């Protein structure tokens, strides 16, 4: 064990990976020592997930060497990596929706133990112990498919923790977590480090990165641009290395005093999810909604778009009341919705990028049944350009895009429809700082043009940077309202937690 | 001479089943006897459209004569019409309603054959009691004619017998016949007789009867072959079967085809030189033989197929 | 739109299928040149395949949404029987001229209406009540066939005016009428799928039904229309069968169901939805017909044909997945949910 | 915590079965009797074994339509081989041979599915016609009515025998024990071994299973070979019970079997399904198929009745699930 300083736990050297013409990784080298927390930073599509998949044995590099504890490895596969103590929390969680929480948590550990028989009680015990360690209260027997995105993420974290790992790789583990869970996770990482477990951490939330990591590695376009101790970086310098430019957030312009009321929600209620929700939104206003896990934000957001049928309440856009529980009517009324889980709810993964954007504009570009493909394409390309989607070929399937670019594709689809009101559920989930600022810029621009925007987010700086007003939800009720200009991150965090 | 060697394709409802394998023996015998290129083909699935497709291909291939056992006579009218228009001799079997054929060969009148089975069933039942009837499919014309003939005969001759239930459909499947027979036995506990139509019907019925130990209390008759129903005839679960020898029918069909090609005509009372067809009856285009065979435990050894 | 270069052309599954179709045609021609290549045989083939080819189009459409229509043959027969009932009741074999044509048109419309209603039934069961398509159409297929049997007592209906035969047996300028009908339908389907918003929606829905809902697509209406169209295609196939058989019966074409599924799959349609092209289905139909007629010419047992068929399907799939890198077309795309 | 859950397929199918039996008893009081029970159980043996096999494949995330062809080939070649080479061997040998042939054919499926990574539906659609075509073209087409003595003997072995009041017999064949055995073994594999859990995991998400290190290929090989062996078993049992090896039998049942399994709550998308539900689904289909005469439904309407039942049987749970999803937040 004492040799851990001399011999790194993981050494990567000259790893290159290309996908059908795209170079995702180009000659990347990296070492991780035992008990060390390394941050992998970089813009969307810079190759972070690809590197992780290679370490996990899911993808094979075209070139390059990988060593575990000084021993050079042949071609890896997930089983070999797992046997070497590499556990991954994947960006998309990679859970089993049909299995219980307990089984999902214990799955990797059971596989690693090479046991042939399966018994429930040890599985439950292990799961409960791990859940306790993370401090989450989840029914271990609930099927994972019934969980919210945040809870799924916690289960994925627990699964990795339940194994005797030597390296835990976390690919954006905090995207769906609220402040409180993130705290707990960071604590766990500290404890893991103390136990000699190494952590490779990917996140776009720079503050948390700098808080727990010793070393920072920055990728840009598949190349390593810099590597150094975390102490030498601050958020601004890190951003500069990732994007090659300075990114500044500016607060939103004030809403014009004469802006008409766009959306009125009165007494919207859904048993078990939210209760008696009343608020208004003016044209050009950006309204933030925040709350802890399970506070009912997502249900409320879906209800606004008709994806959830409320038990009662009234919703009007402009002068017209919108029928509840009907997404088509909501869309007709000019409401758009960007879902939080873009992979399953937002995107048609196997279809082209163009089609993914264009699908919202089919009616606008068809006459007498005929679709004007040229116009549809121009329209979509235009929006892709305006949102600076990094794609080699807009005819390529959208699944080949990085997470952040995928998110922009979903945004582009709705923006192309020219909505009056946009509900953004986690608009910058998994989006890098540069793009995030771009998206915030887009939101600002939309509000300037008189759109109403509702932003549901856990990212407090994001809320502060984009919103005129922020509603705080607790246990399904709106418990407070603050003006974006008049509050600070600490104050908001306090309101949420209390 | 070489040009006298004719291509005669016998096209059956479905290839491979016992019945048509036996028919193939007759066709081969005809080929051996006469030196013609006679052979038997059939689709892999029991579907009239598959038979149509096969016939289309044979016409395109340019055979000299077609001897057809239609799956569904109506469906074949257009294609057989095309065959005749192309100068191909066409004869059929088991399709008394067929229009586009030179001759249709019937081993017997279907209604008579049904009545013949009923006569045996009634005798066995002592002229009274409940009975049920089975057909391979409700869409099969011959099966329905047999059963209708039998029912009409019973109504006239044996008024004390009663038909229970509807025509039971077995989809030409022995397992289904077995299931249906069980169901009939449960629903009508007093049943004494059953008459089958598809060759697998009596085998399925026989198994159900045997398992319930009712061989002595019930009478089962139907169309089948000794190779299919043999073990139940032996155990007494099936009391008798009737059929006509498909080999002979196949032979006669091919002979008719050659006669048509040679421009010969068939006349009433003619002897076609094969057992059961020594003195045929001609009704329009339909040729009737007296070619049915009744088989029971005693004489089954004489029919090894 | 991108330029189609040669490499891209050969990279598409349809192009490989075209190669296979040509190879099969060449092999059959070589094995029995005088018979297979005869005008007789070529026209005969052109008369044969439209029946099941139309059903394959219906299969393509429903499979694109990730569904399937196992009731098409039932619909075909039920529609044909309704048409036949009308024809036999109002225009017997004696009917000629304008009256006969008129009644044929009425019968055709009636058949299409029956197909539409049956398809609507499927669509509502699937889209509104949420039944899995495979079971909904398995069940409804039994019902349609059952009604057809009940309407006719199981026997065939016949005695139509002479014009009825035209649809399945006639020619226009030497081209078989059923082939023309199929060509029109195929072209229409290609247009529908490739050039209309409806077609694009069908493909998008098949790719990810949940995302379609989140994109404010009218998925209920879409599915209903898909099955309605499928039912109407079934009705048209039924009319062709009726015309070619000059009769209608509840059990015609029972072997076409599996055949239509096989052809769609061979034609490159992803049975889990989202991908499928008309040209692929047409090529698969042709391959199938060349193979089938060719083997009949050669006197090969029809059972060996089944064997070759299954083998061909798997061979094509291996070529498709081995030759080109294609991301796994899984039923549920990647992530945890 | 959960009470009777009316949104579960199992509950709904059980209720439909109870309602059906109640109605049948009203129509004919003799319906509730030993012969009815044994007839139905007997009718469910082959279908039940098939359903267990189909369930396993569905859970693993695949779909298999070739198992009926595997059963037919195993059944026919076993009867043929034994008649030719060893007509006198005990029935155990016939079973072993049939299951081996079935496993071998299942292995062919596995090679295409696991080895080449082809979609399961397409592979099994192809092998369905390949297996059947091969048997009919090269092994034989004639039905074998004189089975090897072992199989004949097995067909006459009964677990339960009894006499009805009217003197006729009722009986339950020993083959039923094999259904029970198949169910128990499959349950143990699915719920008490890691292999079984991995099969579930694959059905839940194949990609995730691969990522966490499940030996996906190995598990797929297991699934298709096991299913092949079960199909072989079902084939030999079918021949023994009907006393004939007819190569045209069995093929065509596959969709009804899958329908029964889905009726019982398994999902075509994979990852979900219970043996209880599967057996209930089979029970319902067998019950309906074999009880229509009691209700006096004319033959012409019987297929309509079965169709309506499939629609109701799948429609109720589907509708429930849809409403539950609409209610959920
Ligand atoms: N399966 C694939 N096929 C083709 N290209 C791919 C594939 N997976 C990744 N890529 C490409 O490789 C590059 C790196 O992707 P990767 O997912 O590693 O980015 P990332 O740094 O994780 O981004 P994000 O922060 O958005 O998650 C991107 O350009 C992406 O489009
Ligand atoms: N109909 C219902 N019956 C019972 N519980 C419900 C119902 N609808 C929602 N819930 C529960 O209410 C809570 C609120 O759900 P919701 O997903 O809206 O929370 P959220 O604050 O948006 O969480 P997240 O942080 O994941 O976005 C959850 O615990 C959910 O399981
Ligand atoms: Mg990533
Ligand atoms: Mg939520």
Give the closest-approach CA distance of D194 to chain A in angstroms.
5
Interhelix angle for B141-157 vs B110-125, to 10°?
50
Confidence of residue A428 (pLDDT cuts 50, 70, 90): confident
Backbone dihedral angles phi then psi of residue D189, each to the nearest 5 degrees: -60, -45
CB D146 within 8 A of CB D83: yes
pLDDT number for residue B138: 87
**A:371-390 residues touching chain C, CB 8 A cutoff:** 371, 373, 377
* More confident site: C157 or A244: C157
**Token couple for B164:** 């229970």
C327 Cα: distance to centroid of ligand 1 (angstroms): 14
List chain B pLDDT tens, one digit each, 305 residues.
345 789 999 999 988 888 898 999 999 999 999 999 999 999 988 889 999 999 999 999 899 999 999 988 889 999 999 999 999 999 999 988 899 999 999 999 999 999 999 999 999 999 999 999 999 988 888 899 999 999 999 999 999 999 999 899 998 889 899 999 999 998 899 999 999 999 899 999 999 999 999 999 999 999 999 989 999 999 999 999 999 999 999 999 999 999 999 999 999 999 999 999 999 999 999 999 988 999 999 999 988 88
Model ipTM?
0.86
Closest CA to A288 of A427, A485, A466: A466
Per domain, the residue ranges of chain C are 38-325
**Which residues share a beta bridge with A169?**
A88, A200
Distance in angstroms (rounded) separating the CA atoms of residues A15 and A13: 6
Distance in angstroms (rounded) separating the CA atoms of residues C268 and D243: 42
Distance in angstroms (rounded) separating the CA atoms of residues D132 and D74: 11
A294 Cβ inside 6 Å of ligand 2: yes
Mutate-to-test residue for ligand 1 from A24, A58, A433, highest number of ligand atoms within 8 A of CB: A24
C334 Cα: distance to centroid of ligand 3 (angstroms): 14
Tell me the mean pLDDT in the region A411-432: 86
Give the structural domain span for D228.
Answer: 10-23+32-319
B178/D242 touch (CB, cutoff 8 Å), yes or no: yes
Angle, alpha carbons A408-A353-C211 (nearest 5°): 75
- Residue D30 contacts B where some CB pair is shorter than 8 Å: yes
What distances in angstroms separate CA D76 from CA B273, D84, D142, D147, D239, one per listed residue? 39, 12, 10, 10, 8
% of residues, chain D, pLDDT over 70: 98
Distance in angstroms (rounded) separating the CA atoms of residues A290 and A424: 12
Sequence-separated (6 or more) residues with CB below 8 Å from residue A125: none
Distance in angstroms (rounded) separating the CA atoms of residues D34 and D39: 8
Residue from C216, C221, C269, C325 to probe the interface with A (highest A Cβ count within 10 Å): C216
Secondary structure (DSSP) of A56-73: TTSS--SEEEEEETTEEP
Give the closest-approach CA distance of C247 to chain A in angstroms.
37
Residue D174 domain-assigned (yes or no): yes
DSSP for residue A428: T
Q: Which ligand is nearest to the Cα of residue A428, counting in written order?
A: 1
Q: Which residues of D touch C313 (CB under 8 A)?
A: 122, 125-126, 129
CB B170 within 8 A of CB D205: no
Distance in angstroms (rounded) separating the CA atoms of residues C48 and A495: 75
**Exposed / middle / buried, residue D283 (Cβ in 10 Å: 0-12, 13-18, 19+):** buried
Structural domain count of chain D: 1
Q: Which atom of ligand 1 is nearest to the CA of A47?
A: 18
Distance in angstroms (rounded) separating the CA atoms of residues C193 and C250: 31
Helix (H), strand (E) at residue A202: strand A198-202
**Exposed / middle / buried, residue A306 (Cβ in 10 Å: 0-12, 13-18, 19+):** buried
**Exposed / middle / buried, residue A2 (Cβ in 10 Å: 0-12, 13-18, 19+):** exposed
Distance in angstroms (rounded) separating the CA atoms of residues B212 and B202: 15
Sequence-separated (6 or more) residues with CB below 8 Å from residue D121: C265, C271, D62, D63, D65
CA atoms within 13 A on the CB side of B175: 25
pLDDT for D322 beyond 60: yes
Q: What is the mean pLDDT of chain A?
A: 86
Could you tell me how many helices (H) and strands (E) chain A has, helices first? 16, 22
Distance in angstroms (rounded) separating the CA atoms of residues D23 and A439: 64
Distance in angstroms (rounded) separating the CA atoms of residues C233 and C161: 23
Residue A106: alpha-carbon gap to chain centroid = 24
Domains A10-243 and A261-497 share a fold: yes
CATH number, domain containing residue D101: 1.10.3470
Distance in angstroms (rounded) separating the CA atoms of residues D29 and D294: 10
* More confident site: B2 or A106: A106
Closest CA to D102 of D136, D142, D67, D143: D67
A407 Cβ inside 6 Å of ligand 2: no
Confidence of residue C129 (pLDDT cuts 50, 70, 90): very high
**Closest partner CB to D310 (pick from C139, C272, C306):** C139
Closest CA to C194 of B224, A355, B1, D171: A355
End-to-end Cα distance, chain A: 44
Strand, coil or helix: what is A116? coil
Helix (H), strand (E) at residue B7: strand B7-11
pLDDT number for residue D4: 63
Sign, CA dihedral C242-C246-C251-C256, equals: negative
Strand, coil or helix: what is D218? helix
* More confident site: C263 or C96: C263
**D:108-137 residues touching chain C, CB 8 A cutoff:** 112, 116-119, 121-123, 125-137
C245/B49 touch (CB, cutoff 8 Å), yes or no: yes
pLDDT for C183 beyond 90: yes
Measured between CA atoms, the residue of chain C closest to residue A352 is: C204
Give the closest-approach CA distance of C8 to chain A in angstroms.
13
Mutate-to-test residue for ligand 2 from A138, A144, A298, A456, highest number of ligand atoms within 8 A of CB: A298
Over the stretch C64-76, which tens digit does the pLDDT of each residue have?
999 999 999 999 9
Mutate-to-test residue for ligand 2 from A178, A179, A181, A272, highest number of ligand atoms within 8 A of CB: A272
pLDDT number for residue A251: 77
Distance in angstroms (rounded) separating the CA atoms of residues B65 and B60: 12
Give the closest-approach CA distance of C33 to chain D in angstroms.
25
The domain defined by C38-325 carries CATH number 3.30.565: no
Distance in angstroms (rounded) separating the CA atoms of residues A169 and A154: 14
Which residue matches tokens 């989809």?
Answer: B171
**Closest partner CB to A78 (pick from D192, D204, D210):** D210
Per-residue burial over D38-59, b if 16 or more Cβ lie within 10 Å, else e, is bbbbbbbbbbbbbbbbbbbbbb
Q: How many CB atoms lie within 10 A of CB C317?
A: 23
Across the beta sheet with B65-68, the strand order is: B37-41, B7-11, B65-68, B89-93, B103-106, B286-288, B281-283
Strand, coil or helix: what is B41? strand
Secondary structure (DSSP) of A259-287: PPEEEEEEEEEETTTEEEEEEEEETT-EE
Helix, strand, coil % in chain A, rounded to nearest 5: 40, 25, 35
Over the stretch A26-37, which tens digit does the pLDDT of each residue have?
999 999 998 899
Per-residue burial over A399-409, b if 16 or more Cβ lie within 10 Å, else e, is bbbbbbbbbbb
Residue D175 domain-assigned (yes or no): yes
Helix (H), strand (E) at residue A367: strand A366-367
CB A89 within 8 A of CB A154: no
Q: Considering only A483-497, C97-111, D86-100, D229-243, which range has the smallest mean pLDDT?
A: A483-497
Helix, strand, coil % in chain B, rounded to nearest 5: 45, 20, 35
Angle, alpha carbons A331-A334-A340 (nearest 5°): 60
Over the stretch C227-285, which tens digit does the pLDDT of each residue have?
999 999 999 999 999 999 989 999 899 889 989 999 998 999 988 888 999 999 999 99
The architecture CATH gives domain A261-497? 3-Layer(aba) Sandwich (3.40)
Confidence of residue C326 (pLDDT cuts 50, 70, 90): very low
**Exposed / middle / buried, residue D114 (Cβ in 10 Å: 0-12, 13-18, 19+):** buried
CB C271 within 8 A of CB C313: no
pLDDT for A1 beyond 70: no
CATH class of A10-243: alpha beta
- Residue C325 contacts B where some CB pair is shorter than 8 Å: no
Q: Considering only A367-376, B238-247, C177-186, which range has the smallest mean pLDDT?
A: A367-376
CB A241 within 8 A of CB A225: yes
Residue spans of alpha helices (H) in C215-277: 219-245, 256-266
Residue D114 domain-assigned (yes or no): yes
Residue spans of alpha helices (H) in chain C: 6-11, 13-31, 33-36, 39-48, 50-64, 72-90, 97-123, 133-152, 164-169, 177-195, 197-207, 209-214, 219-245, 256-266, 278-297, 302-323
Q: Which atom of ligand 2 is nearest to the CA of A300?
A: 18
Closest CA to A495 of A191, A197, A288: A288
pLDDT for C153 beyond 80: yes
pLDDT for A399 beyond 50: yes
Distance in angstroms (rounded) separating the CA atoms of residues D291 and D21: 9
pLDDT number for residue D196: 96
- Greatest Cα-to-Cα distance within chain C, rounded to the nearest angstrom: 67
Per domain, the residue ranges of chain A are 10-243, 261-497
C335 Cα: distance to centroid of ligand 3 (angstroms): 13
Chains C/A: 3 or more C-beta pairs closer than 8 A?
yes
């Amino acid at each position: 064990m004492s040799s851990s300083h001399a011999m790194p736990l993981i050494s990567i050297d000259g790893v290159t990976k290309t996908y059908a013409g795209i170079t995702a990784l180009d000659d990347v080298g990296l070492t991780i020592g035992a008990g060390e927390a390394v941050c992998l930073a970089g813009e969307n599509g810079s190759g972070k997930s690809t590197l992780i998949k290679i370490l996990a044995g899911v993808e094979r590099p075209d070139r390059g060497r990988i060593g575990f504890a000084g021993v050079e490895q042949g071609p890896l596969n997930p089983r070999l990596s797992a046997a070497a103590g590499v556990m991954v929390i994947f960006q998309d969680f990679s859970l089993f929706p049909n299995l219980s929480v307990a089984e999902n948590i214990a799955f990797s550990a059971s596989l690693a133990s090479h046991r042939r028989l399966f018994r429930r009680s040890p599985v439950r015990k292990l799961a409960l112990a791990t859940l306790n360690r993370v401090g989450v209260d989840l029914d271990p027997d609930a099927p994972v498919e019934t969980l919210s995105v945040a809870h799924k993420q916690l289960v994925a974290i627990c699964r990795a923790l339940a194994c005797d790992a030597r390296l835990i790789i976390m690919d954006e583990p905090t995207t769906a977590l609220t402040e409180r869970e993130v705290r707990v996770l960071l604590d766990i990482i500290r404890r893991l480090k103390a136990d000699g477990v190494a952590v490779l951490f990917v996140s776009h939330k720079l503050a948390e990165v700098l808080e727990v990591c010793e070393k920072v590695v920055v990728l840009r376009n598949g190349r390593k641009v810099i590597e150094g101790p975390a102490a030498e970086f601050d958020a601004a310098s890190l951003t500069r290395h990732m994007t090659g430019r300075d990114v500044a957030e500016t607060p939103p312009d004030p809403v014009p005093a004469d802006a008409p009321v766009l959306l009125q929600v009165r007494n919207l209620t859904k048993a078990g999810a939210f209760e008696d929700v009343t608020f208004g939104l003016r044209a050009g206003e950006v309204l933030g909604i925040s709350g802890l896990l399970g506070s009912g934000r997502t249900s409320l957001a879906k209800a606004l778009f008709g994806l959830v049928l409320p038990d009662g309440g009234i919703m009007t856009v402009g002068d017209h009341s919108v029928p509840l529980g009907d997404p088509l009517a909501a869309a007709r009324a000019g409401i758009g919705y960007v879902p939080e889980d873009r992979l399953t709810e937002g995107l048609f993964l196997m279809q082209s990028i163009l089609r993914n954007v264009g699908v919202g504009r089919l009616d606008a570009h068809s006459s007498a049944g005929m679709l004007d493909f040229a116009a549809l394409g121009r329209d979509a390309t235009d929006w892709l350009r305006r949102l600076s989607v990094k794609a080699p070929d807009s005819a390529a399937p959208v699944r080949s895009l990085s997470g952040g670019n995928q998110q922009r594709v979903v945004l582009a689809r709705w923006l192309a429809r020219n909505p009056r009101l946009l509900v953004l559920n986690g608009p910058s989930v998994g989006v890098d700082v540069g793009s995030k600022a771009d998206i915030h810029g887009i939101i600002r621009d939309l509000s300037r043009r008189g759109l109403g925007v509702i932003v549901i987010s856990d990212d407090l700086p994001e809320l502060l940077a984009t919103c005129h007003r922020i509603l705080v939800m607790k246990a399904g009720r709106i418990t407070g309202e603050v003006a974006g200009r008049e509050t600070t991150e600490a104050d908001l965090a306090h309101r949420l937690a209390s | 001479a070489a040009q006298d060697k004719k291509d005669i394709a016998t096209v059956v409802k479905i290839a491979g089943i016992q019945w048509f394998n036996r028919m193939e023996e007759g066709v081969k015998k005809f080929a051996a006897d006469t030196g013609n290129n006679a052979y038997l083909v059939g689709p892999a699935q029991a579907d009239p459209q598959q038979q149509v497709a096969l016939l289309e291909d044979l016409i395109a291939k340019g055979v000299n004569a077609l001897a057809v056992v239609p799956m569904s006579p109506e469906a074949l009218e257009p294609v057989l019409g095309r065959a005749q228009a192309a100068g191909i001799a066409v004869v059929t079997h088991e399709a008394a309603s067929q229009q586009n054929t030179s001759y249709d060969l019937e081993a017997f009148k279907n209604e008579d054959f049904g009545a013949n089975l009923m006569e045996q069933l009634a005798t066995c039942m002592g002229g009274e009691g409940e009975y049920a009837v089975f057909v391979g499919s409700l869409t099969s014309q011959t099966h329905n004619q047999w059963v209708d003939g039998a029912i009409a005969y019973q109504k006239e001759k044996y008024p004390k017998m009663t038909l229970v239930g509807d025509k039971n459909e077995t989809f030409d499947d022995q397992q289904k016949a077995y299931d249906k027979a069980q169901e009939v036995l449960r629903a009508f506990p007093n049943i004494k007789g059953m008459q089958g139509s598809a060759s697998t019907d009596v085998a399925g019925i026989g198994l159900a009867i045997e398992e319930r130990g009712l061989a002595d209390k019930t009478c089962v008759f139907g169309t089948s072959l000794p190779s299919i129903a043999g073990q139940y005839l032996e155990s007494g679960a099936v009391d008798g079967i009737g059929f006509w020898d498909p080999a002979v029918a196949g032979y006669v069909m091919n002979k008719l085809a050659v006669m048509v090609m040679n421009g010969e005509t068939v006349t009433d009372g003619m002897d076609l030189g094969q057992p059961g067809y020594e003195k045929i009856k001609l009704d329009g285009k339909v040729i009737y033989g007296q070619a049915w065979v009744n088989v029971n435990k005693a004489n089954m050894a004489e029919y090894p197929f | 739109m991108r330029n189609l270069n040669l490499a891209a052309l050969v990279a598409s599954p349809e192009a490989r299928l075209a190669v296979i179709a040509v190879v099969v045609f060449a092999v059959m021609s070589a094995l029995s040149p005088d018979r297979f290549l005869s005008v007789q045989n070529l026209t005969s083939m052109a008369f044969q395949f439209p029946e099941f080819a139309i059903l394959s189009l219906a299969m393509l459409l429903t499979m694109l949404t990730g569904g399937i229509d196992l009731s098409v043959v039932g619909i075909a027969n039920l529609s044909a029987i309704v048409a036949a009932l009308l024809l036999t009741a109002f225009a017997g074999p004696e009917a000629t001229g304008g009256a006969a044509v008129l009644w044929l048109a009425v019968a055709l419309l009636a058949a299409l209406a029956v197909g539409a209603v049956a398809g609507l039934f499927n669509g509502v069961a699937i889209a509104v009540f949420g039944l899995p398509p495979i079971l909904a159409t398995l069940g409804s297929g039994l019902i349609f066939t059952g009604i057809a049997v009940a309407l006719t007592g199981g026997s065939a209906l016949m005695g139509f005016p002479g014009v009825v035969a035209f649809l399945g047996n006639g020619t226009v300028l030497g081209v078989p009428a059923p082939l023309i009908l199929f060509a029109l339908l195929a072209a229409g389907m290609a247009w529908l799928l490739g050039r209309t918003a409806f077609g694009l929606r069908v493909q998008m829905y098949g790719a990810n039904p949940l995302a379609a809902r989140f994109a404010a697509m009218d998925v209920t209406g879409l599915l209903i229309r898909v099955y309605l169209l499928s039912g109407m295609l079934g009705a048209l196939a039924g009319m062709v069968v009726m015309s070619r058989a000059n009769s209608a019966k509840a059990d015609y074409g029972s072997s076409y169901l599996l055949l239509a599924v096989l052809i769609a799959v061979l034609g490159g349609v992803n049975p889990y939805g989202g991908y499928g092209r008309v040209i692929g289905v047409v090529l698969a139909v042709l391959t199938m017909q060349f193979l089938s007629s060719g083997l009949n010419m050669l006197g090969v047992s029809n059972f060996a044909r089944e064997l070759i068929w299954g083998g061909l399907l798997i061979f094509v799939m291996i070529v498709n997945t081995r030759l080109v890198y294609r991301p796994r077309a899984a039923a549920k795309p990647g992530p945890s949910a | 915590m959960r009470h009777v859950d009316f949104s579960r397929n199992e509950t709904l199918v059980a209720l439909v079965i109870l309602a059906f039996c109640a109605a049948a008893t009203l129509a004919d009081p003799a319906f509730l009797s030993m012969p009815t029970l044994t007839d139905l159980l007997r009718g469910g043996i082959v279908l039940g074994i098939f359903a267990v096999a189909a369930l396993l494949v569905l859970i693993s995330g695949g779909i298999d339509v070739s198992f009926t062809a595997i059963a037919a080939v195993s059944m026919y070649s076993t009867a043929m081989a034994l008649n030719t080479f060893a007509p006198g061997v005990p029935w155990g040998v016939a079973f072993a041979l049939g299951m081996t042939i079935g496993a071998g054919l299942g292995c062919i499926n596995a090679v295409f599915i696991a080895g080449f990574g082809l979609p399961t539906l397409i592979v099994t659609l192809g092998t369905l016609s390949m297996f059947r075509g091969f048997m009919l073209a090269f092994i034989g087409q004639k039905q074998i009515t004189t089975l090897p003595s072992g199989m004949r003997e097995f067909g006459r072995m009964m677990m339960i025998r009894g006499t009805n009041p009217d003197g006729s017999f009722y009986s339950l064949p020993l083959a039923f024990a094999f259904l029970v055995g198949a169910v128990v073994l499959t349950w143990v594999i699915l719920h008490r071994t890691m292999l079984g859990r991995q099969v579930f995991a694959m059905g839940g998400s194949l990609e995730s299973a691969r990522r966490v290190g499940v030996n996906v290929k190995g598990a797929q090989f297991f699934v298709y070979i096991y299913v092949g062996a079960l199909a072989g078993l079902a084939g030999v049992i079918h021949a023994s019970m009907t006393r004939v090896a007819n190569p045209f039998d069995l093929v065509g049942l596959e969709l009804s079997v899958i329908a029964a399994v889905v009726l019982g709550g398994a999902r075509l998308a994979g990852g979900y399904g219970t043996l209880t539900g599967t057996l209930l689904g089979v029970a319902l289909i067998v019950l309906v198929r074999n009880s229509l005469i009691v209700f006096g439904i004319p033959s012409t309407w019987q297929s309509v009745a079965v169709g309506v039942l499939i629609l109701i049987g799948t429609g109720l749970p589907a509708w429930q699930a849809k409403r539950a999803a609409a209610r959920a937040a």
